[in-house]
């Protein structure tokens, strides 16, 4: 396709991550059981990700509620969406307190167990440039980190519009590819 035919701007409200980055190499484990996450179980799903450095404070809890509400607002398409919370240690000698799960059932609670994984998470999600406490990240059904939304600056309707467009555009993707 001739690049001059493409529009000069996009209509999305979130920030596209270009190029999309695969997440399958991230070695995260479940907070409760310590079992490793198998990324292939999330294949063919859109994944909303919230990241916390240290304890899940009120702002973190607010983000988790926000992504729960966004998922609910997608109506029938919500079955195509999963939610992940990644908790990073704030210091080496402090074990962070996970969020209370009342009302957040279905959110996968994950942690980074070792310094290598911690560095990989920080690099993949660009946490040196982006404040994790104000962002929601999106992983596409092929397992690539592809977008982030600033939950403080954007209105819920703007984020929902982006999500609806993504789900509509991917409705006919062949599963497993």
Does the 18-169 domain belong in CATH 3.40.630.30?
A: no
Whether the predicted model's global pTM rises above the 0.75 cut: yes
CA-to-CA separations, 146 to 14, 102, 116, in angstroms, rounded: 10, 29, 22
pLDDT in tens, 126-163: 998 888 888 999 999 999 999 999 988 988 899 999 99
Banded model confidence at residue 106, pLDDT cuts 50, 70, 90:
confident
- Please work out, in degrees rounded to the nearest 5, the angle formed at the alpha carbon of residue 140 by the alpha carbons of 134 and 143: 110
pLDDT in tens, 24-77: 999 999 998 999 999 999 999 999 999 998 888 888 888 999 999 999 999 999
% residues pLDDT > 70 (the chain):
88
Each domain of the chain, given as residue ranges in start order, spans 18-169
Name the β-bridge partners of 47: 82, 139
Q: Look at residue 100 and tell me whether its pLDDT is greater than 90.
A: no
Q: Look at residue 5 and tell me whether its pLDDT is greater than 80.
A: no
């Amino acid at each position: 396709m001739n690049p001059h035919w493409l529009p000069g701007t996009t209509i999305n409200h979130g920030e596209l991550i270009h190029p999309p980055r695969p997440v399958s190499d991230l070695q995260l484990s479940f907070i409760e059981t310590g079992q490793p996450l198998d990324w292939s179980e999330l294949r063919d799903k859109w994944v909303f990700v919230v990241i916390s450095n240290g304890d899940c404070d009120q702002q973190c809890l607010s983000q988790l509620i926000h992504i729960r509400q966004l998922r609910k607002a997608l109506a029938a398409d919500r079955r195509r969406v999963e939610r992940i919370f990644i908790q990073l240690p704030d210091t080496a000698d402090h074990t962070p307190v996970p969020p209370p799960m009342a009302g957040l059932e279905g959110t996968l609670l994950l942690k980074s167990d070792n310094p290598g994984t911690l560095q990989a998470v920080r690099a993949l999600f660009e946490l040196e440039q982006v404040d994790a406490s104000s962002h929601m990240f999106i992983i596409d059904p092929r397992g690539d980190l592809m977008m982030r939304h600033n939950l403080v600056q954007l209105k819920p309707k703007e984020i929902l519009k982006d999500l609806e467009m993504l789900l509509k555009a991917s409705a006919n993707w062949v599963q497993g590819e």
